[in-house]
């Protein structure tokens, strides 16, 4: 979006809005909120980004483009809850997400002190769903807090409903018990094992979960909610969230994209972008399957073997981005091992890269016919923006709801597998991969291209998401004197924010 002609901010306004942006320190959460920060900076909003030292380098592209953006660099207090030197979710197992959420609550006192010492403190806070405690922080310093969701509205409709209804299994040993959400559009249902792992931990007695339950409640009562989504993809869910929250302060502002497609976005790779693009250039149009499972998921060795066998049997060209071999954090099981001799057997039709790759550049290459993905929301949006059909293998968190949206509602994807430990049949997988690059994938490709057009229309000047960004900035400039304060007699707010590691 290029808001050079936007009327979001009138020149005559004497007081410039100042926003404290607080991302959750995991790459999949940070990048979209930093993309939103870029859009706010273009619209003349003064910004301070709160970041931990280890994540400061991720801000480099944003800061080089917007030198006026300030940073607030805070260290975690020392605690045995998190190993020394760990200040982002990348260095933790999946369960570490919950530990880190609680740890971030320990920063509240430092942030309040900073507000009170600052000569021109922020007039609003925009923070990630995983730092919901900032709602009470904002109430303490007297500014509104806006929740940013890096997940889509469909997934968050289910998540918010979970924490409101607080359902439990009738049989605590039945992992396949079905949970239904009849009030949510399209009445989704999921077996217990597909329900949010954060919620399941609460039900199963995780000691940190009361803080996390409070965090989700705080998200629902924040002054507004921003989604990295667009109405053509999730309009019914955005409407549901307005009804659920009882106000219109919901803005769909996506797909949020960087100002260009930098090869280094999110990291640096073992193989140069130019070498990858050269390999893709040698392939025919719509002949390559791109395989990647995001920044967190790591396949078990049996999954690696099944996927490798499927790729080998399919005969398709493929580019497979995978992490290096590791041992499990808890069970000691092997992860990420490429079967011996695999690269030699598939020869030049397959490019296997252990490490980070420039995903957006790859997806937008005409050689790419399909994207085998875990259905994380960032990867989903990047695939949609490229108009590439998806092969869905959801593994956790919001990914099952995302897969339903893609496969059942928009028909831009087909299911390849599901589950973080599921091992697909290699023959069936080979068949799906083969179909994805042939005429049988034409219908899904046509649907993907239609949704891509809708996404592009949303973010161009005058589109829904473009206008919503302008309207959000206008809202920030409105008189906030009537913004309600947190009720001190709310039962959900009776307990103080726990100390770090509590």
- H helix or E strand, kind and range, residue 48: strand 46-51
Domain contains 199: yes
Domain contains 264: no
pLDDT band at 265 (very low <50, low <70, confident <90, very high): low
Same domain, 52 and 134: yes
Q: Is 497's pLDDT higher than 50?
A: no
Domain contains 18: yes
Long-range contacts of 437-441 (CB under 8 A, 24+ apart): 437/286, 437/287, 437/288, 437/289, 437/316, 437/317, 437/369, 437/370, 441/369, 441/370, 441/389
CA dihedral 487, 489, 494, 496 (to 10 degrees): 40
Residues in contact with 301: Cβ distance below 8 Å, sequence separation at least 6, in sequence order: 333, 334, 335, 336, 337
Angle between helix 231-245 and helix 442-459 axes, rounded to 10 deg = 60
Share of the chain above pLDDT 70, in %: 82
Lowest mean per-residue pLDDT among 75-84, 128-137, 459-468, 474-483: 75-84
Domain residues for the domain of 111 are 3-259+461-493
Whether the full predicted model's pTM is greater than 0.75, yes or no, is yes
pLDDT of 494: 35
pLDDT of 59: 92
Same domain, 241 and 304: no
pLDDT of 486: 43
CA distance 294 to 28: 8
Lowest mean per-residue pLDDT among 7-21, 80-94, 264-278, 377-391: 80-94
pLDDT of 329: 46
Q: Is 484's pLDDT higher than 70?
A: no
Q: Give the E-state strand segments of 250-403 in sequence order.
A: 250-252, 288-291, 317-322, 326-327, 334-335, 350-354, 368-373, 390-392
For the chain, what is the radius of gyration of the CA atoms? 22
Same domain, 217 and 316: no
Which whole number is the average pLDDT over 84-110? Answer: 68
pLDDT band at 266 (very low <50, low <70, confident <90, very high): low
CATH number at residue 132: 3.40.50.2000
pLDDT of 328: 55
pLDDT band at 7 (very low <50, low <70, confident <90, very high): very low
Same domain, 489 and 449: no
Domain contains 432: yes
pLDDT of 355: 82
C-beta separation of 181 from 161 below 8 A: yes
pLDDT of 491: 36
- The encoded tokens of residue 323 equal 């992490």
Same domain, 406 and 473: no
C-beta separation of 257 from 230 below 8 A: no
Q: Give the E-state strand segments of 74-133 in sequence order.
A: 124-128
Lowest mean per-residue pLDDT among 79-93, 193-207, 221-235: 79-93
Q: Is 52's pLDDT higher than 50?
A: yes
Same domain, 131 and 255: yes
| Torsions phi, psi for 49 (to 5 deg) | -105, 125
Which whole number is the average pLDDT over 337-357? Answer: 88
CA distance 122 to 141: 10
How do residues 434-476 score in pLDDT, each as one tens digit?
A: 998 876 568 899 999 999 999 999 999 999 999 999 999 999 9
Domain contains 266: no
What domain count does the chain have? 2
Q: Give the E-state strand segments of 141-248 in sequence order.
A: 145-149, 178-180, 189-191, 224-227
């Amino acid at each position: 979006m290029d808001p050079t002609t936007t009327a979001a901010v009138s020149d005559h306004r004497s007081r410039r809005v100042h926003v404290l942006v607080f991302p959750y320190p995991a790459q999949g959460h940070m990048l979209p909120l930093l993309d939103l920060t870029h859009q706010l900076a273009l619209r003349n909003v003064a910004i301070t980004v709160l970041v931990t030292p280890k994540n400061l380098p991720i801000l480099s592209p944003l800061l080089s483009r917007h030198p006026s953006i300030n940073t607030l660099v805070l260290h975690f207090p020392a605690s045995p809850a998190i190993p020394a030197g760990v200040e982002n979710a990348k260095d933790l197992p999946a369960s570490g997400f919950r530990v880190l959420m609680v740890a971030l609550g320990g920063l509240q006192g430092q942030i309040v002190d900073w507000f009170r010492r600052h000569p021109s403190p922020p007039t609003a806070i925009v923070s990630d769903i995983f730092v919901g405690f900032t709602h009470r922080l904002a109430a303490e310093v007297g500014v509104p807090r806006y929740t940013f969701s890096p997940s889509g509205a469909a997934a968050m409709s289910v998540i918010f409903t979970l924490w409101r209804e607080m359902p439990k299994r009738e049989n605590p040993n039945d992992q396949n018990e079905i949970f239904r959400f009849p009030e949510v559009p399209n009445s989704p249902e999921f077996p217990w094992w597909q329900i949010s792992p954060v919620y399941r931990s609460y039900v199963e007695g995780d000691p940190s979960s009361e803080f996390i339950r409070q965090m989700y409640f705080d998200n629902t009562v924040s002054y507004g909610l921003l989604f990295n989504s667009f109405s053509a993809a999730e309009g019914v869910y955005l409407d549901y969230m307005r009804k659920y929250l009882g106000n219109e302060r919901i803005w769909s502002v996506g797909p949020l994209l960087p100002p260009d497609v930098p090869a280094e976005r999110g990291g640096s790779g073992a193989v140069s972008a130019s070498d990858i693009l050269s390999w893709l250039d040698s392939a025919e149009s719509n002949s390559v399957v791109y395989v990647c499972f995001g920044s967190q998921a790591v396949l078990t060795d049996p999954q690696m073997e099944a996927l490798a066998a499927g790729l080998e049997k399919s005969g398709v060209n493929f580019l497979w981005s995978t992490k290096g071999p590791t041992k499990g954090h808890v069970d000691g099981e092997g992860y990420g091992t490429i079967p011996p001799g695999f690269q030699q057997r598939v020869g030049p039709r397959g490019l296997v890269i252990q490490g980070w790759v420039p995903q957006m550049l790859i997806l937008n290459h005409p050689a790419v016919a399909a994207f085998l993905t875990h259905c994380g929301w960032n990867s989903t949006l990047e695939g949609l923006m490229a108009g590439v059909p998806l092969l869905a293998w959801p593994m956790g968190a919001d990914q099952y709801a995302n897969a339903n949206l893609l496969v059942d509602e928009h028909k831009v994807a087909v299911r390849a597998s599901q589950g973080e430990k599921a091992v697909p049949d290699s023959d069936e997988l080979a068949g799906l991969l083969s179909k994805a690059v042939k005429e049988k994938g034409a219908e899904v490709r046509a649907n993907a291209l239609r949704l891509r057009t809708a996404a592009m229309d949303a973010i161009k000047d005058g589109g829904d998401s473009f206008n919503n960004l302008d309207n959000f900035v206008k809202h920030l400039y409105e008189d906030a004197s009537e913004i309600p304060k947190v009720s001190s007699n709310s039962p959900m707010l009776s307990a103080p924010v726990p100390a770090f590691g509590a």
